[in-house]
């Protein structure tokens, strides 16, 4: 039910998963009158595995969705506001893991260096930092195709992406029905007997997947699943979004999402092939819509654009699978655009549904497990997003409220306490609940100037060994800069 990114990705994924089994018959109902949310242009590297599974080739995807490469996120002004002398704080969250050589771990070696003079952690520990900041592509064309050593995700046009997924899903046998859902008849056991449509009468299925976006027509309106708000932790609840055409067709394209902090939230800036997707995320308790519009205009530098206001309540439903209905996408929850967890959660949910779906017996058997896993994932993402805010030294009320210990979940406070004495480790995280790895936390933590007391020798390297390792990473980085083309050049080659 629903034809946005969630609906089409779910339909295509399940069709592919059960392809050839003859056991599953999928229909997708959507109302073209209502349209899709049309934002959600930034992704996480998991999207590559998903596209691969769906049988969508990278080149076809890039051409069809006006996609570009995303090697991470550049955070501007999150630690402190721009200073009167013009100096600004910037750090990168690259997708590549820190460089690893002969079992030597670069982080303890970095921690032992003088905090006043050492380079940023991501810069010292990855070859991707220099490449991404310089706007180079993560790979290059060779005789055998396109290849390169760096991890990446994509930016894309959300409307075009949904259309591509639709074509693939229909190819895989999904039936596409256009029409408006107008009612739901309960089955008397807490689930759905049939749905009522304006255009096609009553429709019946074994499993109903609610991908109706913020409307949550099945899981929310019909089944009344409770919504857990996290507005007391993550304060942003509104976005102003727009698209700015690219004035110069030869202008470089950023190879990272830019996330620029402002007085009561942040602005995303995403480089597509011939436009930039820009949006300001803010807390309505700390900033009025007029101030937000001014902030966006100041960021863009002119007012020749039409921005759309999108209100949202940060949170999720603890029970997303009830009876024969399961929610995927915005109907199940949404925290905020930071770190692009919207599509990531869709990918996680649909992979779980595919593997847990019973082929015989009761369709709601996996509900309790699914709900625990999904709610756990949301809780962990809340901590990860809060980490971005709570270490800031900015002085505006929004940022002070974010640093107030009363707004920080106990689970995150406990980790921050431990991380004063040792860095984040893979053992801090339960893999099936976690969307991010220990090194994603490290990039945010040390990007925000957090101090961990280093134990001498913990890297397994002598001082000289550490210097040699960092020099090696620098050298590989310089080599990569020479070998990799500008981002726009690669996009052009792929689109040619
Ligand atoms: P929608 O796109 O809203 O689709 C809902 C569908 O349901 C539509 O087809 C609609 O027609 C249909 N429908 C609803 N009611 C009915 C009815 N009664 N009858 C028939 N059809 C109906 N995610 C990321 O991964 N990266 C990002 O950078 C990112 N940025 C975001 C920024 C903002 C401001 C917001 C709000 C979200 C962002 N997200 C992001 C989340 C992302 O946009 C969504 O996860 C994704 O687009 C999926 O949306 P959806 O398919 O659940 O809902």
For range 277-285, the mean pLDDT: 97
In angstroms, the CA 332 to CA 350 distance is: 12
The pair of three-digit structure tokens given for residue 426, joined into one six-digit string: 């893979």
Angle at 45 between CA 213 and CA 349, to 5 degrees: 40
Give the mean pLDDT of the chain: 95
Cβ of 196 closer than 6 Å to ligand 1, yes or no, is no
In angstroms, the CA 447 to CA 48 distance is: 26
pLDDT at 461: 66
Please identify which residue in the block is written with the tokens 């982080």.
107
pLDDT at 457: 62
Nearest atom in ligand 1 to 329's CA:
52
For range 49-64, the mean pLDDT: 97
Cβ of 40 closer than 6 Å to ligand 1, yes or no, is yes
Cβ of 342 closer than 6 Å to ligand 1, yes or no, is yes
Is 149 or 216 the better-scoring residue by pLDDT? 216
The answer on pLDDT for 460 being more than 80 is: no
Ligand 1 center to residue 144 CA distance, Å? 38
Using an 8 Å Cβ cutoff, are 270 and 278 in contact? Answer: yes
Ligand 1 center to residue 55 CA distance, Å? 23
Nearest atom in ligand 1 to 213's CA:
53
Residues 6+ apart with CB under 8 A from 197: 29, 179, 180, 181, 182, 203
At 399-456, the pLDDT tens digits run 999 999 999 999 999 999 999 999 999 899 988 899 999 999 999 999 999 999 876 6
Ligand 1 center to residue 286 CA distance, Å? 26
The pair of three-digit structure tokens given for residue 266, joined into one six-digit string: 């942040």
Domain residue spans of the chain? 5-69+154-231+315-380
Nearest atom in ligand 1 to 158's CA:
47
pLDDT at 458: 62
Cβ of 278 closer than 6 Å to ligand 1, yes or no, is no
Ligand 1 center to residue 493 CA distance, Å? 31
Q: Which of 39, 258, 314 to mutate to test the pocket of ligand 1 (most atoms within 8 A of CB)?
A: 39
Ligand 1 center to residue 496 CA distance, Å? 31
pLDDT at 466: 80
Using an 8 Å Cβ cutoff, are 419 and 97 in contact? Answer: no
Q: Which of 491, 477, 490 is nearest to 150 (CA)?
A: 477
* C-alpha to C-alpha distances, 201 to 120, 179, 204, nearest whole angstrom: 60, 10, 10
Please identify which residue in the block is written with the tokens 């807490």.
190
pLDDT at 103: 64
* Residue 102: band (very low, low, confident or very high) from pLDDT cuts 50, 70, 90: low
* ipTM given for this complex: 0.99
pLDDT at 52: 98
**Partners of 333 in the β-ladder:** 316
Residues 6+ apart with CB under 8 A from 447: 75, 91, 92, 93, 120, 121, 122
For range 114-130, the mean pLDDT: 94
DSSP string, 448-480: TT---PPPTTTTS--HHHHHHHHHHHHHHHHHH
Ligand 1 center to residue 203 CA distance, Å? 23
**5-69+154-231+315-380 has which fold?**
FAD/NAD(P)-binding domain (3.50.50)
Q: What percent of the chain has pLDDT over 90?
A: 88
Lowest mean pLDDT among 101-115, 203-217, 271-285, 413-427: 101-115
Using an 8 Å Cβ cutoff, are 391 and 400 in contact? Answer: no
The answer on pLDDT for 144 being more than 80 is: no
Cβ of 4 closer than 6 Å to ligand 1, yes or no, is yes
Cβ of 350 closer than 6 Å to ligand 1, yes or no, is no
At 203-236, the pLDDT tens digits run 999 999 999 999 999 999 999 999 999 999 999 9
Query: What DSSP character marks residue 42?
Result: B
Nearest atom in ligand 1 to 30's CA:
21
């Amino acid at each position: 039910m629903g034809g946005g990114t969630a609906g089409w990705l779910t339909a295509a994924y399940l069709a592919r998963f059960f392809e050839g089994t003859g056991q599953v018959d999928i229909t997708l109902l959507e109302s073209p009158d209502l349209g899709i949310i049309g934002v959600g242009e930034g992704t996480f590297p998991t999207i590559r595995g998903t596209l691969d599974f769906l049988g969508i080739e990278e080149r076809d995807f890039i051409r069809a969705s006006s996609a570009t490469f995303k090697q991470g996120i550049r955070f501007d002004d999150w630690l402190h506001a721009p200073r009167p002398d013009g100096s600004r704080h910037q750090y990168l969250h690259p997708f590549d893991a820190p460089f690893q050589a002969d079992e030597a771990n670069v982080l303890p070696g970095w921690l032992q260096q003088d905090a006043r003079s050492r380079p940023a952690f991501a810069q010292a520990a990855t070859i991707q930092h220099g490449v991404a900041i310089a706007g180079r592509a993560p790979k290059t064309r060779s005789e055998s195709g396109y290849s390169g050593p760096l991890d990446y995700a994509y930016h894309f046009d959300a409307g075009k992406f949904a259309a591509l997924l639709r074509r693939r899903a229909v190819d895989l046998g999904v039936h596409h029905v256009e029409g408006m859902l107008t009612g739901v008849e309960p089955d008397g056991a807490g689930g759905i007997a049939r749905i009522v449509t304006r255009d096609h009468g009553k429709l019946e299925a074994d499993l109903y997947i609610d991908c109706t976006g913020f409307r949550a027509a099945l899981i929310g309106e019909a089944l009344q699943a409770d919504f857990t708000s996290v507005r007391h932790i993550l304060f942003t609840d509104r976005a102003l979004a727009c698209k700015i055409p690219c004035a110069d067709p030869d202008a470089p394209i950023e190879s990272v999402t830019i996330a620029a902090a402002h007085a009561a939230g942040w602005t995303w800036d995403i480089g597509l092939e011939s436009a930039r997707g820009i949006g300001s995320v803010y807390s309505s308790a700390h900033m009025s819509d007029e101030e937000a519009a001014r902030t966006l205009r100041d960021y863009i530098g002119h007012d020749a654009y039409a921005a759309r206001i999108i209100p949202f309540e940060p949170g999720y439903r603890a029970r997303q699978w009830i009876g024969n209905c399961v929610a995927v996408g915005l109907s199940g929850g949404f925290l905020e655009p930071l770190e692009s967890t919207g599509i990531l959660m869709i990918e996680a949910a649909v992979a779980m549904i595919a593997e847990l779906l019973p082929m015989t017996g009761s369709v709601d058997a996996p509900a309790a497990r699914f709900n625990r896993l999904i709610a756990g994932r949301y809780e962990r993402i809340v901590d990860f997003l809060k980490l971005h805010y709570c270490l800031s030294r900015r002085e505006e009320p929004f940022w002070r409220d974010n640093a107030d210990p009363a707004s920080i979940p106990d689970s995150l406070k406990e980790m921050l306490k431990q991380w004063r004495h040792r860095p984040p480790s893979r053992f801090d995280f339960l893999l099936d609940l976690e969307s991010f790895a220990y090194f994603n936390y490290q990039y945010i933590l040390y990007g925000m100037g957090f101090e961990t007391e280093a134990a001498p020798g913990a890297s397994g390297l002598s001082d000289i060994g550490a210097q040699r390792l960092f020099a090696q990473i620098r050298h590989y980085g310089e080599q990569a800069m020479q070998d990799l083309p500008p981002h726009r050049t690669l996009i052009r080659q792929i689109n040619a």
